[in-house]
Structure 1
C-alpha cells in the first residue's frame, strides 16, 4: 500500500437518507484469524446497512476483508477465527451473532444465501447437480423427493440452463464454468431467500456469460424482491449493477456512498486509486526481426464422447482444436480469446505438451516437441512455464508457499544451496507483489487474488523464456491487475520473455498483447494486431465479445 494514501475510516451511517429499517445492519464488525506466526486482523471495524430490494457492492483489493465480512454474516468463518465482542449483525431486527449453531444453519440457505467465488470448489464433484439442489431444498422444507425434483427443474429453467431435465443427472465437471455458476445461483435461490450474497459471481467467466449472469441476478432480484450484497473487484460491474458502494481496505471501510455519487466524486485517496486502476497502456515494442520461439502447425485435439447405456454405447468425436496454426515470436505477447468451451485452454495446453495433440506439429525454438519422449522434453520444461486459471487447484494445499515455489527449483536443479533457493523464492514473491515473509504459510490462508500471485511467482522463479498464462488475472482486482500487467511487461523487457496469454478479459488483452487470435468452437475466426481486432472487429462473433467486454449490459 502506498504510504501517501491516507487510510482513515468512514463513519458508519449511510449518506443517501434511506428511510425505514434495513434488513441487515452490521456494526463494528471485527474478525481476527489465528495463523502460524500470529494473528491476522482480517476485519477491524466494518459497518454497513442493506435495505430490502437494493444491491450494495463491497469493493476493495484482495485481502481487504470483503469475503471475510460476507462469511461473518453467514456464520461460515474458519474455526481459528474470532469475532470481536462489540460486533453486531442484525437481520430483521435480531442479532445473528447470538443465534445458536442450529438456528444459524436454518437461516443459511433459507433466509440468507451465498454464491461463492469458485463454483468448482463449492459443488461436490461426486454428486449430480440434481442431488445437490434437491438436498438444499429438503434441508429447509418438508417436501417429497419428487416435488423437490420438479422444483429443481423449474429452478434450472429459471436460471436459463438448457435441457434442465437432462442436467439433473450430470456432474459438475460435465458443465462449463458459466453453467456451474448458474447451478450455484439456482441452489442459492432454492428457498427464495430475503438476502443473496454474491461473492465474485462472475470472476472466472468470459465476458458474454458475465453479462448474462449479472442480468439474471437482477432479473431474479426484481422477481423475488431480494436484497443483494455484491462482492467484486470489477468496477464496471459495480457501476452498472449496484445502488450503494462500500470501499474496503486493510479490514475497514474507507468510503461509502451512492454508486453514481462515489464514481463521480470519489473523496478518499484510496477510492481514487482504485478508480484509476483500469488496465491501460500497450505492449512493449517488439525488437525488429524477432525469431519465432513457438510455432503450432495444423494442431488438432479431439476427444471421444460416449453416450448410451452399457449394452448400447455409442461414440462420437468432439474436435476441440480444429487444425490450428500460430506463430509466437521472442518477446511477443499473443492473446487467445473466446467464450468458455471455444478450445483456447486446450489449444494452449497442446502447444506445451500438457496434453497430446491428435495431429500437427509444435516447434519450440525450432525443435519439434511432438516427436520428443517425456525424458527428452524434461530439459525444456524449465524454459517453458505455465500459470493456470484456478490457483486453488494448482497449488498443493499440504505444502507451504516456500515449498511450492522451491519445488520447481529443486526438480530443475536451479540454485546450488538451500539459501540460494530461498533467496530466489523470496525475490519471486516480491516481484509478484507479495511480501517475502510469507514462505511458511499455506495456500488456504490467502485470498483468491493472493493465491494467483503465488502461482505467478512459482513460474517466475524458474526464469523461463516462455510462459503460458491461462487466465492469470481472472481472480485479481483492478489495482493488482495493473501491477501484474506492469510486472509482466517489465519481465518481458528485462528477460526477453514470450507470452501466450489466454483470457476472457479483453481490457487486459488490449493492455498486454501485441496480437490476438479469436477462437470459436475450436477454430480461429479472426486474428491480427490487438488494436485492429478490438477497435474494428470484422466478424459478428468478435463484435459481440467486444461489446460485452466494454459495454456491460445494465
Structure 2
C-alpha cells in the first residue's frame, strides 16, 4: 500500500478544500520558525501550512516538542526575541497578513479578534491581582465600558465556565484556586470579547474528566452562537475525535499528515499518526510485598481557608473546609492514587500530608516520626526524603536558572555530592532517567515544551534520591506516548530505589496503570477507597461511577 509518508511535505491545501465555498478566516502558509540557542539554531517549525474556516474546530496534535504551541504563538505574535520567522511565511487573517502588522495592530488584534487559552494558567495569571481585576482588564483593554459593566460581565463569564461561588472568586487571587479552576478563569478571559478565533493550547490539561467535557461543550456552544473558529492544540486524541472537524498531525516541527477527523481516525496513512492513535497508558502496578511497612500515615487531617466576600468597608468572611478530617496511610514501595474533580481538595490534602500547608487538626507521621508539629526548620532534614513534582512545571522551575542549576540546587542545599563534578554527574543521570538528554544543562525552562519541562521537574525530584514523591498531575502536560514512558519510568524507579508515590490525578487511565490503591475525594471528604481494580471496575458510589464513566466509557 502506498502511504503519504512518501509525500514530503504534506500538501499545503486541505483535503476538503473543494467542499468549501468561502475564504478561510486564517490561512497560514510556509510558516517556519527558528530559535537562537547557545550552540547554534533550533528549527522549531518547518514550512507549516494550515487553513481554518469560520465556525469549525481544527486540531493540531503531536508529541511534546513537535512545534504545536510555537505555531500557535506565531499566529498570536507572542514569540520570544530569540525567534526568527522565515521571510516566506504568511499568516492571513481575513485576507491580511498579520506578520506584516505593526506592534500596535497586533496588540489590538490579540485578545480581541484572536484570543488564546494558554497551557499553564499559573504562569499566565498575575499573582498580585485578583481574578476579577484581571478579567475586567481583559474586557476594558478592548471595549469602552464602565468598570461596573465589566465587573458584571466578569461575573457572567465565571458562571459560564462553571466556577463554584463565582462572587467570592472575583476577589480571590490565583494561588487560592485549584489548577482546574485557574484554567477555567483563563477560558473566561479568552472568551471575554467574543473573539472570531480562539486558540486553545491544551485547554483541558488541568481539568478532571467530567469538567473537561463541560468546558469543551461550552466552547462548542459559544462557537455555534458566535460563529467562532477554534484551533485546538492537544495531545488528547479522545478530545480531538469528539470535538474537532479537521486534524493536522505534527512531528519535529513538520506537518506529517492532515485530513478530516473522521477520515484520519478511520484510515491513518502516516506511521507516526498510527503510533499516536495506538498510544495509551497500559499495564498495572507491580505487586506490593505483603510485609511492606507504613511510610506515611495521616490521621484526621483537617485544612480550612477563609474566603472574603463583599467590599473593602463591609467584608464578609466564610470558612471553606478543603480537607475535612481525612485519614490515609501509604506503605513503602506503594503507589496510592488520590482522585476527584478539581476543587475536591486532593492537592490540598497531598500538600498538607508533606507539611507544605499548615493543618487545623490531625496527626501526620513519616517513618513513624510525628511531623504534624514540626515547623519549617524542623522539616528541613526530611526534605530530601520527601519530594514533590508539581502540576504546573513552568511555575515551579526558576526561569532565571538553567536546567543544570535548577537540579543541582537541591543537591547543594541538602549537602549531596562529594564535589561539583559528582553533582553534575548526578544531574545528568537524573535527566537521562527522566527521558531527557544530558546535554541540556545550559538551557532555560522557557526553551522547552510543557511536557519536556515536566520531565525536568521529575529529574529534579529523582536527583535527591528520595523515599517518597508526591506527584501532582505528573502526566497532565504530556502526550499519550510520553505518558506511557513516564509511567514505565516511575515503575522502574520504584523497583530500583524502593520509592513510594502519592499520585494526585484526574486521569483515571494513568491511575489504573500506575497505582496499587486509590482514594476518591469529593468536597473535602473521602467517598470511596480500595484497590485500583476493585474501585474502577466496581465503583460503590454514584460519584465514583460518574468519574469512571467519563474517563473510560465516554472516552472509548
TM class by smaller structure: over 0.9
In the alignment, the residues of structure 1 paired with residue 370 and residue 171 of structure 2 have an alpha-carbon distance, to the nearest angstrom, of 43
- The structural deviation recorded for 1:183 is 3.1
8 Å contact kept, 1:6–1:269: no
- The structural deviation recorded for 1:395 is 1.1
Q: State the partner residue of 2:19.
A: 18
Q: State the partner residue of 1:68.
A: 70
- SS of 2:11 mapped into structure 1: coil
Residue of structure 2 aligned with 1:287, choices 260, 270, 289: 289
Kindly provide the CA deviation profile for residues 326-358 of structure 1, in whole angstroms up to 9, marking residues without a partner as x.
Answer: 121111111010112222112212222222333
Residue of structure 1 aligned with 2:433, choices 421, 431, 434: 431
In the alignment, the residues of structure 1 paired with residue 386 and residue 248 of structure 2 have an alpha-carbon distance, to the nearest angstrom, of 42
In the alignment, the residues of structure 1 paired with residue 374 and residue 142 of structure 2 have an alpha-carbon distance, to the nearest angstrom, of 57
- SS of 2:290 mapped into structure 1: coil
8 Å contact kept, 1:388–1:471: yes
- The structural deviation recorded for 1:292 is 1.6
Kindly provide the CA deviation profile for residues 163-219 of structure 1, in whole angstroms up to 9, marking residues without a partner as x.
Answer: 656654444344444443333233222332221111111111122221111110011
In the alignment, the residues of structure 1 paired with residue 364 and residue 315 of structure 2 have an alpha-carbon distance, to the nearest angstrom, of 34
Q: State the partner residue of 2:406.
A: 404
2:234 is the alignment partner of 1:232: yes
8 Å contact kept, 2:472–2:504: yes
In the alignment, the residues of structure 1 paired with residue 374 and residue 152 of structure 2 have an alpha-carbon distance, to the nearest angstrom, of 53
Q: State the partner residue of 1:496.
A: 498
Q: 1:463 to 1:9 in 2, by over 3 A?
A: farther
2:457 is the alignment partner of 1:455: yes
Q: 1:205 to 1:266 in 2, by over 3 A?
A: same
In the alignment, the residues of structure 1 paired with residue 214 and residue 293 of structure 2 have an alpha-carbon distance, to the nearest angstrom, of 42
Residue of structure 1 aligned with 2:92, choices 86, 90, 93: 90
211-220 or 126-135, larger mean C-alpha shift: 126-135
Q: State the partner residue of 1:394.
A: 396
Q: 1:312 to 1:123 in 2, by over 3 A?
A: closer
Residue of structure 1 aligned with 2:525, choices 523, 526, 542: 523
Q: State the partner residue of 2:424.
A: 422
Residues 171-210 of structure 1: pairs in structure 2 closer than 5 A: 171-210=173-212
Total equivalences in the alignment: 550
In the alignment, the residues of structure 1 paired with residue 512 and residue 208 of structure 2 have an alpha-carbon distance, to the nearest angstrom, of 15
Q: 1:423 to 1:221 in 2, by over 3 A?
A: same
Q: State the partner residue of 1:323.
A: 325
In the alignment, the residues of structure 1 paired with residue 318 and residue 151 of structure 2 have an alpha-carbon distance, to the nearest angstrom, of 30
- The structural deviation recorded for 1:153 is 4.3
In the alignment, the residues of structure 2 paired with residue 145 and residue 309 of structure 1 have an alpha-carbon distance, to the nearest angstrom, of 15
In the alignment, the residues of structure 2 paired with residue 373 and residue 92 of structure 1 have an alpha-carbon distance, to the nearest angstrom, of 59
- The structural deviation recorded for 1:541 is 1.0
In the alignment, the residues of structure 1 paired with residue 46 and residue 362 of structure 2 have an alpha-carbon distance, to the nearest angstrom, of 57
8 Å contact kept, 1:389–1:474: yes
In the alignment, the residues of structure 2 paired with residue 151 and residue 360 of structure 1 have an alpha-carbon distance, to the nearest angstrom, of 42
Residues 458-537 of structure 1: pairs in structure 2 closer than 5 A: 458-537=460-539
**Any unmatched runs of 5+ in structure 1?**
none
In the alignment, the residues of structure 1 paired with residue 6 and residue 424 of structure 2 have an alpha-carbon distance, to the nearest angstrom, of 34
Q: State the partner residue of 1:444.
A: 446
In the alignment, the residues of structure 2 paired with residue 324 and residue 262 of structure 1 have an alpha-carbon distance, to the nearest angstrom, of 47
Q: State the partner residue of 1:112.
A: 114
Q: State the partner residue of 2:370.
A: 368
Q: 1:252 to 1:392 in 2, by over 3 A?
A: same
- The structural deviation recorded for 1:459 is 0.7
Q: State the partner residue of 1:381.
A: 383
Q: 1:305 to 1:35 in 2, by over 3 A?
A: same
8 Å contact kept, 1:215–1:553: no
8 Å contact kept, 1:6–1:270: no
- SS of 2:372 mapped into structure 1: helix
308-317 or 388-397, larger mean C-alpha shift: 308-317
In the alignment, the residues of structure 1 paired with residue 304 and residue 296 of structure 2 have an alpha-carbon distance, to the nearest angstrom, of 21
Q: 1:295 to 1:170 in 2, by over 3 A?
A: closer
8 Å contact kept, 2:168–2:309: no
In the alignment, the residues of structure 2 paired with residue 292 and residue 131 of structure 1 have an alpha-carbon distance, to the nearest angstrom, of 46
- The structural deviation recorded for 1:311 is 7.3
Kindly provide the CA deviation profile for residues 67-98 of structure 1, in whole angstroms up to 9, marking residues without a partner as x.
Answer: 11011111111111110011111112221112
In the alignment, the residues of structure 2 paired with residue 78 and residue 546 of structure 1 have an alpha-carbon distance, to the nearest angstrom, of 41
In the alignment, the residues of structure 1 paired with residue 386 and residue 483 of structure 2 have an alpha-carbon distance, to the nearest angstrom, of 23
8 Å contact kept, 2:364–2:370: yes
Q: 1:472 to 1:264 in 2, by over 3 A?
A: same
- SS of 2:409 mapped into structure 1: helix
Q: State the partner residue of 1:541.
A: 543
In the alignment, the residues of structure 1 paired with residue 512 and residue 198 of structure 2 have an alpha-carbon distance, to the nearest angstrom, of 34
40-49 or 353-362, larger mean C-alpha shift: 353-362
Kindly provide the CA deviation profile for residues 279-333 of structure 1, in whole angstroms up to 9, marking residues without a partner as x.
Answer: 1111111123222222222222233445567777665543322222212111111
In the alignment, the residues of structure 2 paired with residue 103 and residue 181 of structure 1 have an alpha-carbon distance, to the nearest angstrom, of 27
